[in-house]
Chains A and B, each alone.
Chain A
Amino acid sequence: MPKETGKTRWQDLPIGFMITDAGNAAEYHTGTWRSQQPVRNNDRCFRCGMCYLFCPEGCIHRGPDGYFFADLRYCKGCGICAQECWSDTINMVEETE
């Protein structure tokens, strides 16, 4: 149970405790869970988008140059992108910090 901080009282919450800000889970950065991070070698990439399609976080985006990149604020380091990559573009590397 979270401690009562006195900052928000129940009267201040919206009726029914509805969340009116859709998708605000993005404020929480799950990247801190990660123990391995995906490192790309774009020379091998042929932009098939399998990593984008199979990322459970939905944190892989397409850059303006057509190559994909992972948003490391959210990447949990599951390694699915590295496993499913057809051309071995992605390798999982241990986090150093």
Chain B
Amino acid sequence: MKLVENFDIFAPVVVPPEEYFSPGHRACQGCGEVLAVRLVCKALGPNVIISMATGCMEIVSSPYPHSAWRVPWLHVAFENAAAVASGVEAALRVIERKGKIPAKNTHSIAMGGDGGTTDIGLQSLSGMLERGHDVVYVCYDNEAYMNTGVQRSSSTPFGAMTTTSPPGKMSFGQSTWKKNVAEIAVAHKIPYVATASPSYPIDLINKIKRAVDVVGPAYVHVLSVCPTGWRSAGNNSIKLGRLAVESAVFPLYEVKDGKYRLTIDPPKLRPVSDYLKLQGRFRHLTPDLIEQIQKRVTEEYGILKKKCEE
């Protein structure tokens, strides 16, 4: 007996059925980042050229002679994903005008991890946003350099344990706060900036579609759970992404032409300890440090709420 009749109108119909990221990639069990890549590729469709910075996703998707990509894909160095995507966009515009390839409205997409975006690639990202190339930049943020063995990046949150910010007698883990690159992108006055999470897949797909539709640069910051680096259980990846949004550690919003809008607005915020206690990288935190994180998260969420009401 079936529990509910006619319920098959949901996910399988709303989401495009094609897979542009093949199975057989070497990501860890329960990787949230590879799920984000898969959903982003579904949203983008076949007419794209992806330039991807070095990082986890490049390592797991392209061990020579294999490639998990079913769309044209370029691997570029750590620092210049945005620069190469700008070049691809400029070249596409010229050769389409000259009629050398059929005009199919091909989009240039840049992708990078948090190291390739917030640390090493920030200058080329800023250059791309400032020059106004019609490129979508997608940042997969797993909050440390995971593929080289969990070193801190500027995207690592306060208090987190990494191999280069180990907790102990003299340290409580990462001592600085997470860099807010989405706000840096907003400061460039570009047409579209959004934060997304694969735990809200329909929201993520809609944001990518909106980012592709705008003329001019767009930036999408995707929080992707990393069970290996966050020291969490593999099956909790989706739950952790949801807790990050529900506790306002990573609020989901979009900024279209300077107008802020919260896309997921939890009616009542959960305490950040709900999010922290599932992760081994925060297990050393004392109650007063958690209090400090809670204070900062509430404060930042208040500022964001105020911007959304304007």
Evaluate contact between A49 and B10: CB separation under 8 angstroms: yes
CA distance in complex: A28, B62 (Å):
12
Evaluate contact between B11 and A53: CB separation under 8 angstroms: yes
Which of B1-9, B261-269, B280-288 is found at the contact surface with chain A?
A: B1-9
Distance in Å from the Cβ of A23 to the closest Cβ of chain B? 4
**Other-chain residue from B3, B27, B70 in contact with A22 (beta carbon distance below 8 A):** B70
Evaluate contact between A58 and B22: CB separation under 8 angstroms: yes
Which of B148-156, B171-179, B229-237 is found at the contact surface with chain A?
A: B229-237
Which of B31-39, B122-130, B249-257 is found at the contact surface with chain A?
A: B31-39
Evaluate contact between A82 and B38: CB separation under 8 angstroms: no
Q: Which residue of B lies closest to A8 (CB)?
A: B65
**Other-chain residue from B67, B71, B198, B235 in contact with A24 (beta carbon distance below 8 A):** B67
What's the interface size class on A, roughly? 35 or more
Evaluate contact between B68 and A80: CB separation under 8 angstroms: no
Q: Which residues of B contact A44 (CB under 8 A)?
A: 3
Q: Which residues of A contact B8 (CB under 8 A)?
A: 47-49, 66
CA distance in complex: A24, B68 (Å):
6
Evaluate contact between A78 and B23: CB separation under 8 angstroms: no
CA distance in complex: A45, B27 (Å):
28
Interface string of A7-49 (1 = CB under 8 A from B): 0000000000101011111111110010000000001111111
Q: Which residue of A lies closest to B1 (CB)?
A: A43
State the majority secondary structure of interface residues on B.
Answer: loop
What's the interface size class on B, roughly? 35 or more
Q: Which of B31-64 contact A (CB under 8 A)?
A: 31-32, 34-35, 38, 61-64
CA distance in complex: A74, B25 (Å):
9
Distance in Å from the Cβ of B10 to the closest Cβ of chain A? 5
CA distance in complex: A21, B71 (Å):
11
Residues of A within 8 A of B (CB): 17, 19, 21-30, 33, 43-50, 52-59, 62, 66, 71, 74, 76-80, 82-84, 87, 92
The 29 sampled A-B contact pairs (Cβ below 8 Å) are A17-B64, A22-B69, A22-B70, A23-B22, A23-B67, A26-B68, A30-B25, A45-B2, A46-B3, A46-B4, A48-B8, A48-B11, A49-B10, A50-B11, A53-B11, A54-B35, A54-B201, A56-B27, A56-B32, A56-B35, A56-B237, A79-B30, A79-B234, A80-B30, A80-B235, A80-B237, A82-B235, A84-B238, A87-B3
Residues of B within 8 A of A (CB): 1-4, 7-8, 10-12, 15, 19, 21-27, 29-32, 34-35, 38, 61-71, 198, 201, 233-239
